[in-house]
Chain A
Amino acid sequence: QAVVTQEPSLTVSPGGTVTLTCGSSAGAVTSGQDPYWIQQKPGQAPRTLIYDTTNKHSWTPARFSGSLLGGKAALTLSGAQPEDEADYYCLLSYSGGQVFGGGTKLTVL
Chain B
Amino acid sequence: QVQLVESGGGVVQPGRSRRLSCAASGFTFSNYGMHWVRQAPGKGLECVAVISYDGNNKFYADSVKGRFTISRDNSKNTLYLQMNSLRIEDTAVYYCAKDPSKEGGYGMDVWGQGTTVTVSS
Q: A64 within 8 Å of B by Cβ?
A: no
Q: A41 within 8 Å of B by Cβ?
A: no
Q: Which of B32-53 contact A (CB under 8 A)?
A: 37, 44-47, 50
* 5 closest A-B pairs by CB: A36-B107, A100-B45, A103-B44, A45-B113, A45-B111
CA–CA, A96 and B105, complex, Å: 10
Q: Are A38 and B45 in contact, with the CB atoms below 8 A?
A: yes
Please encode chain A, from 81 to 109, with 1 for each CB lying within 8 Å of some chain B CB and 0 for all others. Answer: 00000010101010001111111000000
For A7, the chain B residues whose CB sits under 8 A away are: none
Q: B112 within 8 Å of A by Cβ?
A: yes
CA–CA, A89 and B45, complex, Å: 8
Extra pairs beyond A46-B111, A48-B107, A51-B107 (4, CB < 8 Å): A45-B95, A45-B114, A46-B95, A48-B110
A-B contact count (CB 8 A): 56
Please encode chain B, from 79 to 111, with 1 for each CB lying within 8 Å of some chain A CB and 0 for all others. Answer: 000000000000000010100100001111111
- Complex A-B: 25 CB contacts under 8 Å: A34-B107, A38-B108, A40-B45, A45-B114, A46-B37, A46-B95, A47-B111, A48-B110, A51-B100, A51-B106, A51-B109, A52-B106, A89-B44, A91-B108, A97-B50, A97-B59, A97-B61, A98-B50, A98-B105, A99-B47, A100-B44, A100-B46, A100-B47, A101-B44, A103-B44
For B45, the chain A residues whose CB sits under 8 A away are: 38, 40, 46, 89, 100, 103
We find that the number of chain A residues with CB closer than 8 angstroms to chain B is 23
Q: Which of A29-45 contact B (CB under 8 A)?
A: 34, 36, 38, 40, 45
